[in-house]
Chain A
Amino acid sequence: MSQISLTINGRAHSVDTDPDTPLLYVLRDDLHLNGAKFGCGLGQCGACTVIVGGNAVLSCLIPVSTIGTRPVTTIEGLGTAARPGVVQQAFIDEQAAQCGYCIAGMIMRAEALLQHDPAPADDVIRSQMALNLCRCGTHMRILRAVRRASDKLKGRA
C-alpha cells in the first residue's frame, strides 16, 4: 500500500492503496463515487468510463500509479441531480435509460467525444460510442441524447 495523490473532479485526494489498484475501485470504495461501474474489469464494456487528462479512459484498466497529475473527471463532476450538466440533462430529457447501469459510462464517453468534436456526424457518434455496451437495448435513446447534447452545445437547441 502507498499514498497516491489524485485530482478528481477538481479536488485533490490522497488515498492509501496498492499502486496497481485500478482507478475504478478507488473511485467507488475510497471516494464513494458511484458513477463509474464495474461491468467486466476487462476493458470490454465501458461501464467504468471516466475522463483522464481529457481522454475517455476505462477506469477498470488504469492503475492509480500511472495517473500522476492528470486530472480525472467522473460523472459526479459534470453536474448534480439538482443542476445536471448538458449531457446529463440531455439523457434525462430523452429518458435515455432502462436499468441505467451503463449510462454513467455512456455519458462520460459522450462528454469526451463532444469535448473533442462538438458536432460529430451520426456515424462518428456510433463508432466513438461503440466500446460502450448497453444490454437493455437503450441505444436509440442514447444516440438521440448525444445528438441533443451536441445540438445544445452548438446553440442550435
Chain B
Amino acid sequence: MLLVSALVLLACTWRPGIAARPASEPPAFDAALVQQGARVAALGLCANCHTARPGAPFAGGFKVATPFGAVYSTNITPDRATGIGTWTQAAFVRAMRDGVARDGSHLYPAFPYDHYTRLAPADIDALYAFMMTRTAIHAPAHANDLIFPLGFRPLLAGWKLLFLDHAPVPVNTAQTVEWNRGAYIAASMGHCAACHSPRNALGAVDRKDFLGGGEAEGWYVPALNGKSPSPVAWNRDSLTAYLRSGIAPAHAMAGGPMQAVTASLGAADPADVRALATYIVSLMGKPAPAIEQRALDAAHRPVALAAAPGGTDAAARQLQLGQRVYADACARCHASGRTPGSGGALQLPAAIAVYDPDPRSLIRIVRDGIAPGPAEPGRWMPGFAGILTSEQISALAAYLRHSAARQAPWNDLEKRVAAAEKDDRQ
C-alpha cells in the first residue's frame, strides 16, 4: 500500500519532456524584442549567477552555496549540446514559470523561478529572444553537491506544491504607475526577496516577512522594509544612484553579492531602476532621528568615535582591543577627513553594516574588502583577512557596534567571526 502510494506520488512529480527545437531553424528575432530582452535580463540579474568567469557569459558553472549544499548554475547560452540551444519557447516559458527543464526534470529553486513565475508573458518572450541570440559557448554543466537525498529532483515537486505561487503581482490602484512598475520588477525580475527576505527551514522565501532581511554567500542581507537598518534614510534619488553605480556617497558602498547586482542594474533601463527604487523606498522604515543626525554629522563633519569604556571585565577589554585595532588599522583611511587614493573611505557612524541586527556583513567587509571588477575603475577597500586575527576582528566589530553605531552588542559575534574564517579556509 505504501509502495503504491509512493509510486502514485512519484507519478505526480513527473513532467513531460518537450521536443527539441530543430537545428535547421536558426533563431530569428526582432531586434527590438532582443533589446527588450536585454533589459529584462539586466533587471533579472541572469548573468550574475549564470556567469562564472567574464570570458564566458551565461555559460554557467557559478557555485551557489545553500544550506542544503552547493548548486551550480547551468549553461544558458544557445549551445545545443551543453546549453539551451534545443529549448523551444514553450520549454523556456515552462522553466521560468514552473521550474521544469526541457527534459521534464525539476529545477532547484536556487534558480528563482518562484519569482520569475510572476513575469508577464511578453517579458518572458523577450528574454527568450535575448538568450537565444547570445554567443553559444560549449561548457558542460558542473554537477551539484547537495546533501542526500536532496539530489533526488522529484522531491522538488513537493516543494513547489507548498511554495510555488503563480499569482501575478497585483496592481495597487492607490499608487502611481511608476510605483507599480517597481513593485512588479521587485517581485518578478529583480527577485529582491530571494536575498532580502528570510527563508523557512525548507528554504522557501517567507512571504509573511517580505524583505525583512535575509542572507546570501555568508553575508547578512539587510531588511528593506520597516526594519531597514540604514542610519541614513534612503530617498528615491539616492537609492536609484546606488542601484545603478554601487555607490551612495557618504552613505553606502555595494559589497559582496550586491556588487554584481548593481553592475547588472547599471546596464538596465534607468527608468526601470528608478521605478524599483521608488517602490523599495516606500516600504523602508526611517531611522530614528537621533541616529540619522549623528550619521549625517559624521559624513559631513567627521567626528572621532566614542572611546571604549575603562574596566577589566571581558567586554570592556574586548572594546579596548577593538579601539586599538581601529586606531592602528582602520583610522588611517576611515578617520576624520582623510581621502586616500581615488575616493574617500566611509565614515563609520554612517555605515549600514554596523547597524545590522547581525554582524555577518561587517565581518565580510573587514575580511574581504570591496574591490571593483577586473579592469573597471572604482573604490577600493582592502581586505583584512590574514592581517587581523579572529580575536582582533571580533574586537573591532564589537567596538564599531559600540562606538560607531551605539547599538546593543551582537550576541553571536565570535561565533560568526569563527564561521567566516572557517568558510574562507575551504
Contacts and interface: CB of A to CB of B under 8 A. Distances in A.
Direct contact of A and B (CB under 8 A): yes
Interface of A: 19-20, 41-44, 52-53, 55-58, 61-63, 65-66, 68, 70
B329 interface: yes
Contacts of B387: 52, 57-58, 61-62, 66
A42 B328 contact: no
Output the residue of A61, A65, A68 with the most chain B CB within 10 A. A61
11 contacts: A20-B327, A20-B329, A20-B331, A41-B340, A42-B382, A52-B386, A52-B387, A61-B329, A66-B329, A66-B388, A68-B389
Interface string B382-426: 111111110010000000000000000000000000000000000
Contacts of B328: 19-20, 63, 65-66
Contacts of A56: 386
B341 A61 contact: no
B329 A42 contact: no
Contacts of A63: 328-329
B216 to A, nearest CB: 21
Given A61-B329, A68-B389, 14 more contacts: A20-B329, A20-B331, A42-B340, A42-B341, A42-B382, A43-B369, A43-B383, A56-B386, A57-B387, A58-B382, A63-B328, A65-B328, A66-B387, A70-B389
Q: Which are the 8 A-B pairs with shortest beta-carbon distances?
A: A43-B382, A55-B386, A63-B328, A20-B328, A62-B387, A65-B328, A57-B386, A42-B341
Contacts of B389: 53, 66, 68, 70
A141 to B, nearest CB: 21
Nearest to A42: B341
Contacts of A55: 385-386
B332 interface: yes
Given A56-B386, A66-B392, A44 B380 contact: yes
A65 B329 CA distance: 9
B423 to A, nearest CB: 15
A131 to B, nearest CB: 9
B417 to A, nearest CB: 15
B323 to A, nearest CB: 12
Contacts of B392: 66
B340 A53 contact: no
Given A61-B329, A63-B329, A66-B329, A53 B341 contact: no
Nearest to A127: B53
Interface string B92-115: 000000000000000000000000
Interface in B293-336: 324-325, 327-329, 331-332
Contacts of A57: 386-387
Contacts of A19: 324, 328
A140 B387 CA distance: 29
A43 B368 CA distance: 12
A63 B382 CA distance: 14
Nearest to B391: A68
Nearest to B327: A20
A61 to B, nearest CB: 6
A42 B333 CA distance: 9
B380 A42 contact: yes
Residue with the highest number of chain A CB atoms closer than 10 Å, among B329, B369, B380, B386? B386
Contacts of A42: 340-341, 380, 382
B132 to A, nearest CB: 29
Contacts of A53: 386, 389
B51 to A, nearest CB: 15
A56 B385 CA distance: 10
B332 A43 contact: no
Contact of A43 (B331, B380, B388): B380
A24 to B, nearest CB: 12
Nearest to B387: A62
Contacts of B380: 42-44
A42 B371 CA distance: 12
Nearest to A41: B340
Nearest to B331: A20
B109 to A, nearest CB: 29
Interface in B322-363: 324-325, 327-329, 331-332, 340-341
